[in-house]
Amino acid sequence: MNYPRLKIAVSDCLRGTECRYNGGHAQDDFVNDHLAKYADFYPFCPEAAVMGTPRETIRLVGIDTEVRVIGPKSNSDYTEGLQAYNDKIIPKILSHKMDGAVVKSRSPSCGLERIKVYQPNGEWHGSKDPMQSGLFTGDLQKAAPHLAIEEEGRLTDAWLRESFMLHAFTSARWREFSEAQPNVVEFQAFHRDHKYLFQSKNEAIYRELGALVAATRKHNLAESLLKYEQKMFALLACRSTKGHMKNVLDHIYGYFKNEVTPLEKEHYFETVAEFINDIVPLIAVIKVLEQFLKHYGSDYLASQVFFHPYPADLALRSQTSAYR
């Protein structure tokens, strides 16, 4: 199975670069041991570029209606410099067509969420004070709302990790597909091959995508591809649930229901029930269906991306906690 190489923007300290305020790094095992095998990285470090390393720590501070970036030790305001870095570097990174970004948690520059905005007197009064994303990641989200962005800490959650990787690999497949200037028949094939993968995410958006493809002819192909891309990224932002997944598994089983033996039928339904009850992971059900596919055959199912949406050694379907 061939997989496209991912393009991932990443907080440089997560790669092990010693660019943190104290000259240290925040090397992350998932980024460097797993993701690196399948991705080219596009690193950024706003603070090192603007303030140097080592440097004083900074925090977000709400002043009047604005959020500024202040170094409390020197009382310096670094907002303009950091903003200028974002304005220059974010378009540069995005010009390479990213498939995702992994950002450092708890950073006033790189954090995705829950970064404290302090009072001007430096106090933090708890949850009644606002929290938001870091300055860089907030701007990255605004510039690329479709992009899969996660913090390294959140990626230890199997459900979020599976969702992130599915989003990134589908984005990369779409990037390569659309860059190859597909014709209408190839567009139909892309949609057909993603049927069960997309259904497992969001049935309603999947149907809208289908209507769009059905209405596409040579004269409106370019416009349809653009609309498809927007809807597809909205679909990818949805998290798979066990309920959606079970519907898809049962649909696939439907291809074989008149051919399987009573024992095979029992085995399938037992395994699905165990998946729903957190006893076995999704991969166990998929293996049963793959066995049916090998034995009974189906050209339509054989080309479904659903069976292998990302490299198997990432083991994203091997944990019961990967689906909720």
Check residue 110 for interaction with ligand SF4 (CB under 6 A): yes
Does 264 bind ligand SF4 (CB under 6 A)? Our answer is no
Among 20, 116, 161, 167, binds ligand SF4 (CB under 6 A): 20
- Does the N-terminal peptide bond of residue 54 adopt cis geometry, omega within 30 degrees of 0? yes
Residue 113 DSSP SS3: coil
Residue selected from 15, 34, 104, 317 as contacting ligand SF4 according to rule CB under 6 A: 104
> Does 102 interact with ligand SF4 (rule: CB under 6 A)?
no
Q: Which of 79, 109, 216, 304 binds ligand SF4 (CB under 6 A)?
A: 109
Between CA 76 and CA 276 the distance in angstroms is 54
- Is 307 buried (19+), middle (13-18) or exposed (0-12) by CB count in 10 A? middle
107 near ligand SF4, judged by CB under 6 A: yes
Measured at the CA of 119, the angle between CA 114 and CA 124, to 5 degrees, comes to 55
Using CB under 6 A as the criterion, what x/- string covers residues 192-231 for binding ligand SF4? ----------------------------------------
Could you give the count of Cα atoms lying within 13 Å of 279 in the half-sphere of its Cβ?
8
Three-state DSSP state, 187: helix
Written as one letter, the residue type at 99 is D
| Residue 46 or 281 having the CB closest to ligand SF4 | 46
- Residue 87: is it exposed, middle or buried by C-beta count within 10 angstroms (0-12/13-18/19+)? exposed
Size of the site for ligand SF4 (CB under 6 A): 13
**Helix and strand totals (H; E) in the chain:** 14, 9
Among 12, 99, 150, 264, which residue sits at the site for ligand SF4 (rule: CB under 6 A)? Answer: 12
Coil vs helix vs strand at 9: strand
Q: Which is nearer to ligand SF4, 79 or 107 (CB)?
A: 107
By the 10 Å C-beta count (0-12 exposed, 13-18 middle, 19+ buried), 182 is classed as middle
The answer to whether the beta carbons of residues 82 and 47 sit under 8 Å apart is yes
- 13 is a contact residue toward ligand SF4 (CB under 6 A): yes
Q: How many other CB atoms are found less than 10 A from the CB of residue 306? A: 20
**Minimum distance of ligand SF4 from residue 160's CB (angstroms):** 19
- Nearest distance, CB of residue 116 and ligand SF4, angstroms: 15
- What is d(CA 104, CA 321) in angstroms, rounded to the nearest whole number? 23
Task: Rule CB under 6 A: say whether 9 interacts with ligand SF4.
Answer: no
Question: Is the torsion defined by CA of 209, 210, 215, 221 positive or negative?
Answer: positive
Nearer to ligand SF4, 143 or 314 (CB): 143
Pairwise CA distance, residues 305 & 291, whole Å: 16
Kindly tell me which of 79 and 109 has the beta carbon lying closer to ligand SF4: 109
Binders in 280-319 for ligand SF4, by CB under 6 A: none
> Which one of residues 9, 11, 132, 196 is an interface residue with ligand SF4 (CB under 6 A)?
11
Residue 99 CB, nearest approach to ligand SF4 (Å): 19
The residue (of 135 and 165) whose beta carbon lies closer to ligand SF4 is: 135
**What track of x and - describes contact with ligand SF4 for positions 37 through 76 (by CB under 6 A)?**
--------xxxx----------------------------
| Cβ nearer to ligand SF4, comparing 71 with 311 | 71
Residue 19 touches ligand SF4, criterion: CB under 6 A? yes
Among residues 176, 101, 178, 179, which one has the least CA distance to residue 142? 101
Binding site for ligand SF4 (CB under 6 A): 11-13, 19-20, 45-48, 104, 107, 109-110
